[in-house]
Amino acid sequence: MFVVEGPGSAKVLSAFRMRILQIRRGRFLKLFLGVVGVVAILFLLASHSPHAPASIRSAGAFMSKAKQEVVYVADKLGNFEPPEPPPRNGPGEGGKAHHLLPNKQNEGSQSVSEYGINMVVSDEIAMDRVIPDTRHRECKHWEYPEDLPTASVIIVFHNEGFSTLMRTVHTVIDRSPPQFLKEVLLVDDFSDKASLKEPLEDYIARWNGKVRLVRNKERSGLIRTRTTGAEEARGEVVLFLDAHCEVNKNWLPPLLAPIYRDKHTMTVPVIDGIDHDSFEYRPVYGAASNFRGIFEWGMLYKETELPPEIERQREHKSEPYKAPTHAGGLFAINREYFLSLGAYDPGLLVWGGENFELSFKIWQCGGSIEWVPCSRVGHVYRGFMPYNFGKLAEKKKGPLITINYKRVIETWFDDKYKEYFYTREPLARYLDMGDISHQLELKERLGCKSFKWFMDNVAYDMLRKYPELPPNLHWGELWNAATSQCLDTLGHAAPSLMGVAHCHGFGNNQLVRLNSEGQLGIGERCVDADGQGIKLIFCRLGTVDGPWQYDEQNHVLLHKRLGKCAALHPQNNQLALLPCDPVNNYQKWQFKQIVPKW
Ligand SMILES: [Mn+2]
């Protein structure tokens, strides 16, 4: 018979038993079938409600066709495992770096400044080049259900290079079981390059409608265009890829299987790196190491090793595992579920923070995110973003990404956690994030859990690297009384010596925070000092304290560990630690809060 779980179902069963006692045996079968029918209908209704607890949803799943399991088969290859490709010779084959002949190198560098990618190199490499299989060796031995849902692979692009875009499409078509690939949906966010007009339409005609192209009538930005793609898609699952990817061997079934099991699960492939200049294909992660997505309090995306307590519970290194968040570009999700969550917040602009918005929404409102080590996708990491936001940014004041972050944290964080964001990004308080009432309504309507629940149950390991932040005692420019200059990172990346520069009032490299534990921070970095001078360093992970103490009376900044004070050297204008001298103006520093002129 069947097993039902959860308190609601138990009640139904006991009512059912009580009635059996009162009826004659002959009518048992009729009544039984009737009750089973009613229960089935109730379960089916409940399973379609986004408010249904997971126990009812899984019981509902039972009522439809029995689901096949994902099974590890040690002694043979998995059911969708393709044969080994014959070795090939040619530019970039085997994922090797490809270098241009001297007479083409100029053109190559020009394309790098236009696209952020060496398109001349890309053009010389075959669309279906063989790339190394970077998966864990177990991955060849998984059997997946034969009735997985179909996917629309959605690729949003704006002025993408032709051959990188088409190589993405080719690899998807070549390396996906056709019965699960409903279509590849290209969504053009108002590109103006000629190669992406008719030549693109002509090229994709070879796939007889399996590759569709839709175009925005005006620039909408990546985030909104992805939502457009999901609305337009015809597959049961929407699977988003960047426009410069090469999917790896047997990448699709492992992404679909967790969604097949539970349509409230979003899945994320593991990303391999493709060099933007040589197209060398190389794993970012070792085949046996598992990472998951987290964030720090300034909402910068980070990754951390899978916590040992989770790793221990897993039978296989190659199994999917739960993760708090994801990098953003590449993921799969049931289309109706995605749309029922309101897709992305339409108030998010262009790019940035949408990965967090979707992750918090999924987790807090009853779904989950799984990273899938057996699904590998190569991605070209560009050195810079080769286009501007055009009109999209015109009406907005202040940094767009931080505006997005503010919308996300104001919607999904509890008050206590919002404070950590503003401690880390003090200027964000001044930003106009627009109206979030629809987002808050959605959160209410879906009955979503608190951010504390998310932190306690999902992202608990994040605090091991990024603990809760003590309040700032001061923040702003750190102004020197002798020269009226401000402490400045001088645009150098950590670790590096710091200096002073004209106080510009914009924050950025001059926005300094001193917290109640003595940590002096700039952005996500920290300030320390030694015999060489005052330095921008990587903050020690897992700590929020530091060596500094500010004297409110004398305005000197004491380095407690070394017993000296931060000073500007009168002769060379360099920063140094010197014996404290509270009357010396070169050692006097004042924090001046910034009011941004956005
Ligand atoms: Mn990308």
Instruction: Tally the C-alpha atoms within 13 A of residue 289's C-alpha that lie toward its C-beta.
Output: 9
Rounded CA separation 557/7 (Å) = 61
Q: How far, in Å, is the centroid of ligand 1 from the Cα of 133?
A: 21
Rounded CA separation 9/190 (Å) = 51
Q: Give CA separation, 173 vs 127, 143, 211, in Å.
A: 11, 21, 9
Q: How far, in Å, is the centroid of ligand 1 from the Cα of 43?
A: 42
Where residue 5 falls among pLDDT bands split at 50, 70, 90? very low
Q: How far, in Å, is the centroid of ligand 1 from the Cα of 177?
A: 25
Tally of CB atoms within 10 A around 116:
19
Q: Give CA separation, 569 vs 122, 496, 504, in Å.
A: 52, 18, 21
Q: How far, in Å, is the centroid of ligand 1 from the Cα of 565?
A: 45
Q: How far, in Å, is the centroid of ligand 1 from the Cα of 113?
A: 16
Q: How far, in Å, is the centroid of ligand 1 from the Cα of 379?
A: 7
pLDDT tens-digit map of 282-301: 998 887 789 999 999 999 99
Cα-Cα end-to-end distance for the chain: 66
Q: How far, in Å, is the centroid of ligand 1 from the Cα of 66?
A: 39
Q: How far, in Å, is the centroid of ligand 1 from the Cα of 359?
A: 19
Q: How far, in Å, is the centroid of ligand 1 from the Cα of 157?
A: 10
Where residue 41 falls among pLDDT bands split at 50, 70, 90? low
For ligand 1, a single-atom ion, the residues with CB < 5 A are 242
Where residue 21 falls among pLDDT bands split at 50, 70, 90? very low
Output the pLDDT for position 155.
Answer: 98
Q: How far, in Å, is the centroid of ligand 1 from the Cα of 395?
A: 26
| Structure tokens given for 495 | 């670790």
| Structure tokens given for 566 | 């931060």
Identify the burial level of 517 via C-beta atoms within 10 angstroms of its C-beta, where 0-12 means exposed, 13-18 middle and 19 or more buried: middle
Secondary structure of residue 44 in the 3-state scheme = helix
Secondary structure of residue 156 in the 3-state scheme = strand
Q: How far, in Å, is the centroid of ligand 1 from the Cα of 350?
A: 14
Q: How far, in Å, is the centroid of ligand 1 from the Cα of 356?
A: 17
Containing 57, the helix (H) or strand (E) segment is helix 54-63
Output the pLDDT for position 26.
Answer: 47
Rounded CA separation 514/548 (Å) = 8
Q: How far, in Å, is the centroid of ligand 1 from the Cα of 276?
A: 11
Lowest mean pLDDT among 422-426, 519-523, 570-574: 570-574
What is the number of residues in the chain? 598
Q: How far, in Å, is the centroid of ligand 1 from the Cα of 227?
A: 17
Q: How far, in Å, is the centroid of ligand 1 from the Cα of 245?
A: 8
Locus of tokens 């032709």: 162
Secondary structure of residue 577 in the 3-state scheme = strand
Contacts of 18 (CB under 8 A, 6+ apart): none
Q: How far, in Å, is the centroid of ligand 1 from the Cα of 330?
A: 9
Output the pLDDT for position 3.
Answer: 34
pLDDT tens-digit map of 490-549: 999 999 999 999 999 999 999 999 999 999 999 999 999 999 999 999 999 999 999 999
Q: Give CA separation, 12 vs 6, 44, 50, 56, 321, in Å.
A: 10, 15, 21, 12, 34
Output the pLDDT for position 287.
Answer: 76
Residue 359 has pLDDT above 70, yes or no: yes
Q: How far, in Å, is the centroid of ligand 1 from the Cα of 309?
A: 32
434 touches 442 (CB < 8 A): no
Q: How far, in Å, is the centroid of ligand 1 from the Cα of 385?
A: 9
Residue 463 has pLDDT above 90, yes or no: yes
Where residue 306 falls among pLDDT bands split at 50, 70, 90? very high
For strand 496-497 and strand 533-538, is the pairing parallel, antiparallel, or unpaired? antiparallel
Mean pLDDT of 358-371: 98
Lowest mean pLDDT among 341-345, 389-393, 594-598: 389-393
Q: How far, in Å, is the centroid of ligand 1 from the Cα of 111?
A: 17
| Structure tokens given for 24 | 């004659």
Residue (of 70, 47, 68) closest to 142 by Cα position: 70
Residue (of 150, 380, 430) closest to 243 by Cα position: 380
Output phi, psi for 419, to 5 deg: -60, -35
Output the pLDDT for position 37.
Answer: 56
Q: How far, in Å, is the centroid of ligand 1 from the Cα of 352?
A: 12
Task: Provide the percentage of residues in the chain whose pLDDT is more than 90.
Answer: 83
Identify the burial level of 513 via C-beta atoms within 10 angstroms of its C-beta, where 0-12 means exposed, 13-18 middle and 19 or more buried: buried
Q: How far, in Å, is the centroid of ligand 1 from the Cα of 244?
A: 6
458 touches 326 (CB < 8 A): no
Q: How far, in Å, is the centroid of ligand 1 from the Cα of 50?
A: 32
Rounded CA separation 479/566 (Å) = 12
Q: How far, in Å, is the centroid of ligand 1 from the Cα of 234?
A: 24
Longest dimension (CA), the chain: 106
Task: List for the chain the helix, strand, coil content (%; round to 5).
Answer: 35, 20, 45
Output the pLDDT for position 394.
Answer: 64
Instruction: Walk me through the domains of the chain, giving residue ranges and CATH numbers.
Output: 7-63 (no CATH), 93-134+148-381 (3.90.550.10), 472-592 (2.80.10.50)
Contacts of 366 (CB under 8 A, 6+ apart): 50, 51, 53, 54, 264, 446, 447, 448, 449
Q: How far, in Å, is the centroid of ligand 1 from the Cα of 373?
A: 19
Would you tell me the crossing angle of helices 437-445 and 400-412 to the nearest 10 degrees? Answer: 30
In this structure, is the dihedral angle defined by the CA atoms of residues 289, 294, 300 and 301, taken in order, positive or negative? positive
Q: How far, in Å, is the centroid of ligand 1 from the Cα of 154?
A: 14
Distance of CA 1 to the CA centre of its chain: 42
Lowest mean pLDDT among 24-28, 320-324, 437-441: 24-28
Q: How far, in Å, is the centroid of ligand 1 from the Cα of 188?
A: 15
Q: How far, in Å, is the centroid of ligand 1 from the Cα of 380?
A: 6
Residue 23 has pLDDT above 90, yes or no: no
Q: How far, in Å, is the centroid of ligand 1 from the Cα of 207?
A: 24
Q: How far, in Å, is the centroid of ligand 1 from the Cα of 381?
A: 6
Output the pLDDT for position 532.
Answer: 95
Q: How far, in Å, is the centroid of ligand 1 from the Cα of 351?
A: 11
DSSP state of 14: H
Q: How far, in Å, is the centroid of ligand 1 from the Cα of 320?
A: 23
Residue (of 351, 334, 388) closest to 223 by Cα position: 351
Q: How far, in Å, is the centroid of ligand 1 from the Cα of 500?
A: 36
pLDDT tens-digit map of 549-559: 999 999 999 99
Q: How far, in Å, is the centroid of ligand 1 from the Cα of 62?
A: 39
Mean pLDDT of 327-343: 96
Question: What single-letter amino acid sits at 260?
Answer: Y
Q: How far, in Å, is the centroid of ligand 1 from the Cα of 382?
A: 7
Q: How far, in Å, is the centroid of ligand 1 from the Cα of 145?
A: 31
